[in-house]
Amino acid sequence: MDPMLSYVLENTEFIDRKLQEYMSNGNPLLKVLQESINYTLFSGGKRIRPLFCFIVGELFGLRRDKLVSLACALEMIHTASLIMDDLPHMDNAMTRRGKPANHVIYGQDVAALASIGLLTRAYEVVLNDPGLSGEKKSRVVCKLANVVGIDGMVGGQFVDLKFSNKAMDHATLDYIHTHKTAVLFAASGTTTAIIGDATEVEAQALEVYANNIGFAFQIADDLLDALGNTDEVGKPLKRDSGNFVMLHGVEKSKQVLQEHSNRAREAIQLFQGRNDKLIALGHMLLRRKS
């Protein structure tokens, strides 16, 4: 088997096991809430952000045990955002990963609580990690909160809801892409860099890499929306109110995606000789079909 594929499979299995552990709740009164959380948390997510975290950790000689609370926190935040994004007063999506969206099965009330439950548990697992110093925990959680909040995903979602349309200007679309998607990628790198005692230059290089990969990833998403196969992608296509491909066309979008991908690769030259997995991850993300 391709070594990168076996790395991904082995680590995905580890992440899934730890997510079960961190999120499990045996209270029978909360059974349906737990089912709603598990429904989206274990429905075939690619675990890109935790994998990125582990791969960056290797650059600093960090074993995955040292990073697993952060890796799972990143996936919890991501899952929380997907559940919320699909709600009728947000993106109003009926399917996610080829299955009915969380609120379609559990109702909007339960889905909203599942989302908040995942989000708050993310901070909790990092703060409860006995393997991290108090100083690192507070820096990591502060960064995660900032990335979720008004300056990050919440702001990106707001601009998407209120200003996204086929006639929006490029700056507005850039804002949405950067804040809805790239910020959590970037934070996966920068928070890992905090735990790994990265130098300022190393942390900056990882941020540039992740921002560019995150942005390219969103263009790839928009290309899938325009050109993909509904069954493979797992959601209805060609319904985005305004996206990169609609604004720039397919050819230009492919070109800009390649430019971001090149910039990402250049940024990690610094880690030459030990950046193979980062490069492979970039390839995997930008060639995805779902």
Neighbours of 246 (CB within 10 A): 19
| Stretch 78-97 residues interacting with ligand GRG (CB under 6 A) | 80-82, 84-85, 90, 97
Tokens 């928009």 identify what position?
222
Provide the mask over 93-132, with x wherever binding to ligand GRG is found by CB under 6 A and - wherever it is not.
Answer: ----x-----------------x---x-------------
Q: How far is CA 203 from the centre of its chain?
A: 19
Minimum distance, C-beta of residue 237 to ligand GRG, in the bound complex (Å): 14
Provide the mask over 247-266, with x wherever binding to ligand GRG is found by CB under 6 A and - wherever it is not.
Answer: --------------------
Cα 178-260-72 angle, rounded to 5 deg? 55
Among 137, 177, 180, 260, binds ligand GRG (CB under 6 A): 180
Separation of alpha carbons 191 and 37, rounded Å: 25
Evaluate whether 264 touches 213 at the Cβ level (below 8 Å): yes
Q: Which two tokens stand for residue 263?
A: 């910039």
Cα 240-244-248 angle, rounded to 5 deg? 125
β-partners of residue 95 are 100
Minimum distance, C-beta of residue 48 to ligand GRG, in the bound complex (Å): 5
Minimum distance, C-beta of residue 214 to ligand GRG, in the bound complex (Å): 9
Binding site for ligand GRG (CB under 6 A): 45-46, 48, 77, 80-82, 84-85, 90, 97, 115, 119, 148, 153-154, 157, 180-181, 218, 221
